[in-house]
Structure 1
Amino acid sequence: MAEPVEYRPRPTPTEPSAYEELDRLVQTLHEQGLLRLANDLASANKGIVEILVRGLTTPGAQNALQNLGAAAMVLGRVPPGTFYRVADAARLALERLTESSPDHPAPGVRGAYRLLNDDDAWRTLGPLVEALGVFGRAMSRPPPERPITEYSGKESEA
């Protein structure tokens, strides 16, 4: 009697293979012009790369990159809703500043006295004065030698 033949059909592929994904990536880069840009930069000459490397190794560029990193770390702690409120409030304040005329009359003694008794003005000014106090205290602290270490608690060479 004959031995049974072991046959296992190949499963039908349900997702693209790595080669198909790579082909798609190369096609997308070509369509967007990024492939041509990369080829042009690579084939131009090594002078462009030397200029970029020389520019990135200057103390100013290193400071700029560290400052961008520090800003990103600090902004990462601010909830998006709070940041939006601050940014929108700054926009409204700037609009108000550009709308006001330089001929705005001074309030005079009576106007200043009325401002002293204006509860809405004090409700607005109170948090502003407190925020200025917090800002002043934070600015009086010495700057950290290593901001990343202060932020994360991990040792860093930056």
Structure 2
Amino acid sequence: MAERMSYEVPPTRTEPTAAEAMEKLIESLHQHGFLRLATDMVNANTQIAKVLVDGLNQPGSLNAMQNLTLLFKALATIPPEDFNPLLLAVTAAAKGMRENAHAPAEKSAPGIRGIIKMLNDEELWQGVKPVMAGMRAFGREINKPAEKPISRYSGKPSHA
């Protein structure tokens, strides 16, 4: 008597195979003209590269790239949990300034009494404290002697 065979039915595929997905992607790229664009760019790569290099090799472009790099390096040193409140505060300040710019103008200056009232405004002083601390930090940094950015971020001396 023959031994019983064990056979499990493979599950029905619900998603395409990698080859089918690739074929669909290539067909979609072809239908929308991306393959033609990519082919033209590859065929014209020397001309495109020359235009790019010539454009990027200008003093203004080099300065812009270096400044963007410095901006990214500076932003990388700020943790998001510290940067988010700063962005929210700047947004609120901009809205407050914009709203106040369209407010009806007061007929006269606040005078001595108005200034004394402002001196007793706790909310105003709580808002001024971070601005003053920021101005102190700004003054410390702006008064430091200039150095090459690479020296500041890497700690290594510049040879230029």
Deviation at 1:62, TM superposition (A): 1.1
Match of residue 148 from structure 1: 150
Match of residue 42 from structure 2: 42
Deviation at 1:66, TM superposition (A): 0.9
In structure 1, stretches of 5+ residues that fail to align are: 1-19
TM-score, with structure 2 as normaliser? 0.69
Alignment of 1:100-115 (within 5 A): 100=100, 101=102, 103-105=104-106, 106-115=109-118
Match of 2:126, as an amino acid?
R
Q: 2:135 aligns with which of 128, 132, 138?
A: 132
Match of 1:65, as an amino acid?
M
Distance 1:142 1:156, change over 3 A: closer
Alignment of 1:54-133 (within 5 A): 54-100=54-100, 101=102, 103-105=104-106, 106-133=109-136
Match of 1:121, as an amino acid?
L
Does the aligned pair in 2 maintain the 1:56–1:62 contact within 8 Å? yes
Match of residue 29 from structure 2: 30
Distance 1:86 1:35, change over 3 A: farther
Deviation at 1:54, TM superposition (A): 0.3
In structure 2, stretches of 5+ residues that fail to align are: 1-17
TM-score, with structure 1 as normaliser? 0.70
Does the aligned pair in 2 maintain the 1:70–1:148 contact within 8 Å? no
Deviation at 1:157, TM superposition (A): 7.4
Deviation at 1:43, TM superposition (A): 2.3
Distance 1:113 1:124, change over 3 A: same
**How many residue pairs end up in the alignment?**
137
Q: Once the two structures are aligned, what percentage of the paired residues are identical? A: 36
Tell me, what secondary structure is at the counterpart of 2:52? helix
Q: What per-residue deviation string (whole Å, max 9, x for no partner) do you get for residues 17-47 of structure 1?
A: xxx69x94xx479378654433222224643
| CA distance in structure 1 between the partners assigned to 2:45 and 2:77 by the alignment | 43
Distance 1:155 1:39, change over 3 A: farther
| CA distance in structure 1 between the partners assigned to 2:63 and 2:91 by the alignment | 29
Distance 1:57 1:138, change over 3 A: same
Higher relative contact order (CA 8 A, sep 6+): 1
